[in-house]
Chains A and B, each alone.
Chain A
Amino acid sequence: MEQTTKAITSLRMEHITKRFPGVLACDDISLDIGKGEVLALVGENGAGKTTLMNILMGLYHPDEGRIFINGQEVHFRTPNDAFAYGIGMVHQQYMLVPNMTVVENIALGYKQAWKVAKLDLAMVRSQIGEIAAKYSLSVDPDAFIWQLSVGEQQRVELVKTLCLGARFLILDEPTSALTPQETDDLIVLLKKMAGELSIIFISHKLQEVKDLSNKVAILRHGAVVFQGNTAEHTSSDIAALMTGHEVVLPHNDAPACVLGPMLQLKNLKVRSDRGFLALDDLSLYICKGEIVGLAGVSGNGQRELAEVINGLRKVESGSIIFDGQDITHHNPQQVIAAGMGYIPEERNTEGIVPSFSLKENFILKDNDAPQFCRHGFLNKKEINRNAEELREKFDIRSANADIAAGSLSGGNIQKVILAREISRNPKFLVAVYPTRGLDMGAAEFIHKQLLQKRNEGVGILLISEELEEITNLSDQVAVIFKGKIQKVIPSSEASRRRLGILMAGVKDDEEI
Chain B
Amino acid sequence: MTKRFKVGYMAAVVVLSILAAMGIGAVILLAIGADVFKTYMVILTEPLKNKIGITEVLLRTIPLTIIALGITVAYRSGIINIGAEGQMAMGILSTTAIALLFPDLPRGVLIPFAILAGAVGGGIWGFIPGFLKAKLEVSELLSTVMLNYIAAQLYTFFLRGPMLDPAELTTGSGTPQSMRLTRNLDLTRLIPGTRIHTGIFIALALAVVIYLILWKTSFGYKMRAAGAQERAARYGGINVPRYLIIAMIISGAFAGMAGAIEIAGVHRRAIEGVTSGYGFSGIVVALFGGLHPAGIVPAAFFFGLLIYGADMTQRLVGVPANMVQVLQGIIILVIVSSKMIIANPYLMHRMEAKWQNLTGKLHKEVKA
Our count of residue pairs bridging A and B at CB distance below 8 angstroms stands at: 82
Q: Is B37 an interface residue (CB 8 A)?
A: no
Pairwise interchain contact A363-B221, C-beta atoms closer than 8 A: yes
Q: How far is the CB of A415 from chain B (nearest CB, A)?
A: 16
In terms of DSSP, what is the predominant structure of the interface of chain A? loop
Q: Is B216 an interface residue (CB 8 A)?
A: yes
Pairwise interchain contact A349-B231, C-beta atoms closer than 8 A: yes
Q: Is A276 an interface residue (CB 8 A)?
A: no
Interface string of A59-77 (1 = CB under 8 A from B): 1110100000000000000
Interface string of A371-383 (1 = CB under 8 A from B): 0110011101000
Pairwise interchain contact A351-B216, C-beta atoms closer than 8 A: no
A344 to B236 Cα, complex, angstroms: 11
Pairwise interchain contact B2-A377, C-beta atoms closer than 8 A: no
Which of chain B's residues 333-356 have a Cβ closer than 8 Å to chain A? 346, 349-350, 352-353
Pairwise interchain contact B229-A349, C-beta atoms closer than 8 A: yes
Q: Is B38 an interface residue (CB 8 A)?
A: no
Q: Which chain B positions have C-beta within 8 A of A332? A: 234-237
Q: Which chain B residue has the least Cβ–Cβ distance from A336?
A: B237
Known A331-B239, A376-B217, A378-B217: A364·B234 in contact at CB below 8 Å: no
Pairwise interchain contact A360-B2, C-beta atoms closer than 8 A: no
Pairwise interchain contact B232-A333, C-beta atoms closer than 8 A: no
Which of chain A's residues 451-507 have a Cβ closer than 8 Å to chain B? none
Interface string of B220-259 (1 = CB under 8 A from A): 0110110011011111111100000000000000000000
Q: How far is the CB of B128 from chain A (nearest CB, A)?
A: 25
Q: Which chain B residue has the least Cβ–Cβ distance from A376?
A: B217
A344 to B232 Cα, complex, angstroms: 10
Q: Which chain A residue has the least Cβ–Cβ distance from B1?
A: A21
Which of chain B's residues 188-234 have a Cβ closer than 8 Å to chain A? 212, 216-219, 221-222, 224-225, 228-229, 231-234
Pairwise interchain contact A353-B228, C-beta atoms closer than 8 A: yes
Known A20-B349, A360-B221, A367-B218: A333·B237 in contact at CB below 8 Å: yes
Pairwise interchain contact B232-A378, C-beta atoms closer than 8 A: no
Q: Which chain A positions have C-beta within 8 A of B237? A: 331-333, 335-337, 365
Q: Which chain B positions have C-beta within 8 A of A346? A: 231
Number of interface residues of A (CB under 8 A): 38
CB < 8 Å neighbour of B353 from A63, A333, A356: A63
Q: Is A355 an interface residue (CB 8 A)?
A: yes
A22 to B212 Cα, complex, angstroms: 33
Pairwise interchain contact B346-A377, C-beta atoms closer than 8 A: no
Known A63-B353, A376-B217: A351·B235 in contact at CB below 8 Å: yes
Pairwise interchain contact A377-B216, C-beta atoms closer than 8 A: yes
A373 to B217 Cα, complex, angstroms: 8
Which of chain B's residues 113-143 have a Cβ closer than 8 Å to chain A? none
Pairwise interchain contact B238-A333, C-beta atoms closer than 8 A: yes
Q: Which chain A residue has the least Cβ–Cβ distance from B219?
A: A376
Q: Is A368 an interface residue (CB 8 A)?
A: yes
Interface string of A293-318 (1 = CB under 8 A from B): 00000000000000000101000000
Pairwise interchain contact B2-A353, C-beta atoms closer than 8 A: no
A363 to B346 Cα, complex, angstroms: 30
Pairwise interchain contact A364-B232, C-beta atoms closer than 8 A: yes
Q: Which chain A positions have C-beta within 8 A of B346? A: 59-60
Q: Is A39 an interface residue (CB 8 A)?
A: no
A310 to B222 Cα, complex, angstroms: 19
Q: Which chain A positions have C-beta within 8 A of B229? A: 349, 352-356
A368 to B219 Cα, complex, angstroms: 8
Pairwise interchain contact B231-A350, C-beta atoms closer than 8 A: yes
Residues on B lying within 8 angstroms of A by beta carbon are 2, 212, 216-219, 221-222, 224-225, 228-229, 231-239, 346, 349-350, 352-353
